[in-house]
Amino acid sequence: MNASAVAAVDLDADGLIDLAAVDPYTDSVELWLAASAGGLLAFGPRTAIAAARDPMQILVDDANGESVRDLAGLGAYVGELSI
C-alpha cells in the first residue's frame, strides 16, 4: 500500500470511523471499514476498488444529495475522476 491520500470518515453510517485511501501504484481506492468492539480500535479486511489512473487525491462528500457519503478518487491527469 502506497497511499497518496487518506480519509478517515464514517462511510457506512455505523457511528465508527472508517479509512479510505488512494494508491497510485495499483490505481485503486482502498477501504477499511471499522470493526471496533469493546473499546478496541480494529478494522476489517481491505477492499480495493478500481480507480482512475494514478489517483492522487480522495474526496468524501454527498455527491448526489441522498444523505450518504460518496467517495471520489481524483487522478493525476486532467479530467480523470472515479466515483
Question: Other CB atoms closer than 10 Å to residue 47's CB: what's the count?
Answer: 12
Q: Please report, for the chain, the start and end positions of each structural domain, with discontinuous segments joined by +.
A: 5-82
| Predicted model pTM | 0.80
Q: What b/e string do you get for 1-37 counting C-beta neighbours within 10 Å, with b at 16 or more?
A: eeebbebeeebeeeebebbbbbbbeebbbbbbbbeee
3, pLDDT greater than 90: no
C-alpha cell, 80: 480523470
Q: Report the percent of the chain where pLDDT is more than 90.
A: 28
What is the average pLDDT value for the chain, to the nearest integer? 85
